[in-house]
Amino acid sequence: MTAWPYPRWIAHRGAGLLAPENTLAAFRLGAHHGFRMFECDAKLSADGEVFLLHDATLERTSNGRGSAGDLTWAQLSRLDAGSWHSPGHAGEPLLRLEALARWCLAQGHMLNIEIKPTPGTEARTGDAVAREAARLWAGAATPPLLSSFQAEALAAARLAAPELPRALLLHTWTDGCLSKAQDLGCAAMVCHHPLWDASTVAQVHAAGMRCLSYTVNDEKTVQKLWALGTDGIITDRVDLFYPQSLA
């Protein structure tokens, strides 16, 4: 396997559950707890801006309504993405990938960008996210890791920026998933953590890829995954795990 530049611990959506996900407040809080790498979700606004949001719709994590991909960035930027979480985060805005990239680069942090397309925009989103990431991290020592559940998005990302590493996300292990990751030129597979056992880890490592897990929030599961030889853990529990001491 090629050298792996990323730490073993990755903070999910910035700081997991302790701050409004995918906002700058969350990434700052995750860094405060010692994390050096973060996972985020990226999609496209109606006018082509790459911004952070997990859901296809706005209701759960903002005061907006409807499909996020139907609004322009000017409209999205005026939404409150913090009050849903707690009063202290009222007024926290949605975040463009560019703003997060500049913060990460200034602080020496790393990023796993999950390409999270609005349904029907898989290829366009994969292309746009990869191009924007390549532009923002041009000349950086460690590029972002691009991941997605959507093979079409990863294929488009590969065409747009083949130099950026990619990872296939999986919720279930299916026949052909390993071949699919290889065909996409992936450097890793990021699996729902119960999918990892001695066989699946061995298969992925033998194919020259790394094994990452989501979303792991208890110590027993962490110890099991390390014993299996997996390579990275995505967690919400930035308050429970201490990556500087656990490596």
Q: Does residue 207 sit within a domain? A: yes
Given the residues 33, 54, 192, 205, the one annotated as active site: 54
Q: Does residue 175 sit within a domain? A: yes
Number of domains in the chain: 1
- Alpha helical stretches, state H, the chain: 24-32, 73-76, 97-107, 122-136, 151-160, 177-183, 198-206, 219-228, 243-246
Q: pLDDT (tens digit, 9 = 90+) per residue, 29-80?
A: 999 999 999 999 999 999 999 999 999 999 999 999 999 999 999 999 999 9
Q: What are phi and psi of 211, to 5 degrees?
A: -115, 115
DSSP state of 19: S
Kindly write down the DSSP assignment for every residue of 96-122, as one continuous string: BHHHHHHHHHHHT-EEEEEE-PPTT-H
Residue whose structure tokens are 């390549």: 134
Q: Does residue 183 sit within a domain? A: yes
CATH code for position 195: 3.20.20.190
Q: Does residue 3 sit within a domain? A: no
Q: pLDDT (tens digit, 9 = 90+) per residue, 134-146?
A: 999 999 999 999 9
What is residue 246's predicted lDDT score, i.e. its pLDDT?
Answer: 52
Query: Is 54 labeled as catalytic in the residue annotation?
Result: yes
- Please say whether the beta carbons of 154 and 166 come within 8 A: yes
The chain-wide mean pLDDT, for the chain, equals 96
Residue whose structure tokens are 């907006």: 64
For 56, the token pair is: 């296809």
β-strand partners of 146: 113, 166
Q: Is 172 left (phi over 0), alpha (psi -120 to 50) or beta?
A: beta
Q: Does residue 190 sit within a domain? A: yes
In this predicted structure, the answer to whether residue 171 has a pLDDT above a threshold of 80 is: yes
Domain that holds residue 38: 9-58+95-246
Q: Three-state DSSP class for 11?
A: strand
- Please say whether the beta carbons of 226 and 246 come within 8 A: no
pTM exceeding the 0.75 threshold for the entire prediction: yes
Residue 32 CA to residue 50 CA, distance in Å, equals 26
* Cα Rg of the chain (Å, integer): 17
Residue 100 CA to residue 103 CA, distance in Å, equals 5
Q: Does residue 13 sit within a domain? A: yes
Q: Does residue 77 sit within a domain? A: no
Distant-in-sequence, close-in-space partners of 211: CB < 8 Å, separation ≥ 6: 188, 189, 191, 196, 200, 201, 204, 205, 228, 229, 230, 231, 232
- Please say whether the beta carbons of 114 and 166 come within 8 A: no
Q: Does residue 74 sit within a domain? A: no
How confident is residue 244, by pLDDT bands cut at 50, 70 and 90?
low
Query: Is 193 labeled as catalytic in the residue annotation?
Result: no
Three-class SS of 125-166: HHHHHHHHHHHHCCCCCCCCEEEECCHHHHHHHHHHCCCCCE
In this predicted structure, the answer to whether residue 98 has a pLDDT above a threshold of 60 is: yes
